[in-house]
Amino acid sequence: KHKKESLKKLSLANQGSNHSMAKLNEGHVLSIRKLYSMGIKTKKELQEKYNVSIHTIRNILNRKSWTHI
C-alpha cells in the first residue's frame, strides 16, 4: 500500500512544469489552447512560437498531455 501511495505522489510531483524536461509551463499551455480555439494562431504558428514539436501542440490541444489543467 505504501508503495502505491509513494508512486502516486511522485507522479503528481513530476507533472507539468515540475517535470525536469518541461519546456512549457501551465500559463503557456492555457495560452496555446486559447489562441488556437479563438483562431488567432495555427498549430504551426504555436509550434514556432513556443519552440516545441507539432506533436506536442496537438497533444496539448487534444488534452492528451497537460491533462491536469
Single-letter code of the amino acid located at 67:
T
In whole angstroms, what is the distance from residue 3 CA to residue 67 CA?
24
Average pLDDT over residues 56-66: 96
Least confident of 2-6, 24-28, 40-44, 65-69: 2-6
DSSP label at 40?
Answer: S
User: Cell match 519552440: residue?
Assistant: 51
| Of 8 and 30, the one with more pLDDT | 30
- pLDDT for 23: 85
Contact 2, 55 (CB under 8 A): no
Average pLDDT over residues 3-15: 60
| Of 27 and 18, the one with more pLDDT | 27
- pLDDT for 60: 97
The distance in angstroms from the start CA to the end CA of the chain is 28
Read off the pTM: 0.75
